Chains A and B, each alone.
Chain A
Amino acid sequence: MSTGTPMGGAGESQARADELLEEVTKPSRLHGLSEWWNHFPRLGQWAFLLIAVAAAFALPLVNIPLLTTEPGNDWPLACAEMARYALVAVGLNVVVGQAGLLDLGYVGFFAVGAYVAALWTSPDSNLVHIPYLLTLPLAAMVTVVFGVLLGIPTLRLRGDYLAIVTLGFGEIIRLLATIIPALRGQQGFQEVGHPPGTNAEGNPIFSNSAGAPWYWLTITVIILVMIALGNLERSRVGRNWIALREDEDAAEIMGVPTFRFKLWAFGIGAALGGSAGAIAAGQIGFVNNQRFDVQMSVLFLVAVVLGGQGNKFGAILGGAIVAYIPLRFTAIAEYKYLIFGAVLVILMIFRPQGLFGKRPHLLTFERRAHKRIANLADAPSPAAKETGQ
């Protein structure tokens, strides 16, 4: 975007207003894209989204030469993993991006979900067995309980304190999985359940080695979640989240019950993390205490930050990238933590808003009003130029 255009007849305060507007909306190189998208007719947006969804569903079937992870990794399985990370990132984005709560123990919720699926479907567990698909809502419900249990005492804290406490929570979950005999520590649970159905040869459709069905299941969940989250974002809840992310004190003073909405964000984020954990448990078919460490929490955080905190489409992309890179470039897979650590630092220094910035829903109103005023004043301000694009 060109900020250097002459202001024409606009006055000093007009220029300052433009500057401020420019600042809050954080224009980026991808800004043109969202601008273009916002000017698209509603029907066109839906048509475009439908095509995008269809393309997403076709992804494991089309093996694009340069994009593929083969021969190192099976492409449909890689797709399933990318979708799983995307779901996790969407969930964490609610907590970190929307409500501005830095959660470093997100892997704890993921673990709880995985253990729920394992405990109620694996033959290694003595609990009542239920169909696998029921474990998805069950995992979501159980993790909401965990999210609220963690949230009630800790959500009065802010920023880095909250980060450290959630980190502690994630570690407690991991340590308990080691200590509690019923969770079988490193031995873990084998043969975690999967959705019903067999193919022509009588093998289960959702086997551990078939990525595509798991991928489709995951993106179906993602699409449902996206629709629900989109509505939530446009509702009072979403506005309150943004208010408390931008300035908690001001929000509190303006009558936003911040604690309640933080708890909302935590609960919803936890539920999504738990569902992702249950899906992961089903697909891998094995759950033990080894994978749920802080490193994984940080990978999830990278996914959100990379995509752009507060942008759920960005989160999907970020999650997919974080899963994709080590699978595609197996030579550097060993370096993945190093690379993603460096990415965090570099992003924070040069582009803290991530690939896609926050979606300035609230600001679109202001921008529209601003444009109208600018047009009325008949001054070619940068905002007015944008309309012409």
Chain B
Amino acid sequence: MDQWISLDWDALGANFWSATVDGLTFGGIYALVALGYTLVYGVLNLINFAHSEVFIVGAYAVVFTLSSLGFGPSVPNLAWYAIAANLLLALVFGMLAAAITAFIVERVAYKPLRAKGAPRLVFLISAIGMSFVIQYLIFLWRGPNPEPTVIMFENKAIFDVGGTLIYFDSILIVSAAVIMMIVVDQFIRRSKLGRGIRAVAQDPDTATLMGVNRERIIVSTFIIGGLLAGVAALFYVMKVPSGVLYLGGFLLGVKAFTAAVLGGIGNVRGALVGGLLLGLIGNYGQILLGSAQWNDVVCFVVLIAVLMVRPEGILGSNLGKVRA
């Protein structure tokens, strides 16, 4: 039998720093999607299986906006502020599309079941059905091939750290992910809605008695998750310009979920830690084992390992236990 698994430590050593930068960049994207899982899990104690479709709808919206604005497979010939304005527009549409999808998912797949007090397995199955419906609606509309490539800007190297070039998109994505995390974290801690979310996460019945509108909180949670998935979608298209495919949400969704579990599902800060960590692990694994397919395998193995060893994740604590 041929040798199919081999550890190429030399390759890892040679590419260590570029793999680190790349891993952190993807990690930032995972983290933003992971927030959607974490928020819904915190409030409903459910894994929103259709969140990956929320993300991919956002990605489609970004690609469509950009291509209708004239972006294409070549570097756009525009001034930097014009590009920034266009990207901002795409971002808004991506966030809107994702948030609307999240809202529809909540209304169709979750709300009727909540009204009936259905068992948890039933929620999960209906979410799987919903994710299928969205996926294949896109498939029937756009066909089996990925969308045409959309290049957003000329990606220049900004820093050169000891021979490793750090490109503009990596800096943008990682810093934006960290800033978004801080914003969400502070929002959950300080705003009125955030207080409501924490209350429902801690004890839904008591929260309702205390005058918290539970339904409104749940819908808001889904919408916040959708908005963040929309942001992630823009970065995803930036990083993988030809990757928007009806199936594309699935793998990213599983990775983001893994990131959420790794950091501690239901924990906002955990999503960032888990996302960045998973990005690194996946990228190192990919280079060590020699093919991009391994990235996915490594992530799945990490998921199983984390659930076995420390199912509460690295940071552990729950959304409901966050103190303001």
Contacts and interface: CB of A to CB of B under 8 A. Distances in A.
A298 B125 CA distance: 9
Contacts of B46: 160
A72 B136 CA distance: 23
B4 interface: yes
B303 A165 contact: yes
A345 B135 contact: no
Given A164-B47, A345-B130, A182 B4 contact: yes
B160 interface: no
Contacts of B261: 161
Interface string A175-187: 1101111100000
B1 A182 contact: yes
A160 B124 contact: yes
A161 B307 contact: yes
Given A160-B120, A168-B303, A352-B122, A298 B112 contact: no
B292 to A, nearest CB: 10
Contact of A179 (B108, B112, B123, B297): B297
Contacts of B126: 344-345, 348-349
Interface residues of B, number: 45
Contacts of A1: none
Contacts of B109: 345, 348
Interface stretch (A57-65, A78-86, A151-159, A270-278): A151-159
B293 A337 contact: no
Given A179-B294, A340-B129, 7 more contacts: A157-B311, A160-B124, A164-B257, A168-B300, A172-B300, A179-B291, A335-B136
Nearest 5 Cβ contacts at the A-B interface: A344-B129, A341-B132, A348-B126, A168-B300, A345-B129
Interface of B: 1-2, 4, 46-47, 49, 108-109, 112-113, 118, 120-126, 128-133, 135-137, 139-140, 250, 254, 257, 261, 291, 293-294, 296-297, 300-301, 303-304, 307-308, 311
Interface of A: 100, 102, 104, 153-154, 156-157, 159-161, 163-165, 167-169, 171-172, 175-176, 178-182, 294-295, 298, 301, 305, 334-335, 337-338, 340-349, 352
26 contacts: A100-B121, A153-B304, A160-B120, A161-B47, A161-B261, A164-B47, A164-B254, A168-B300, A168-B304, A172-B297, A172-B300, A172-B301, A178-B293, A179-B4, A182-B1, A182-B2, A298-B128, A301-B125, A301-B128, A338-B137, A340-B129, A340-B132, A341-B132, A341-B136, A344-B126, A349-B126
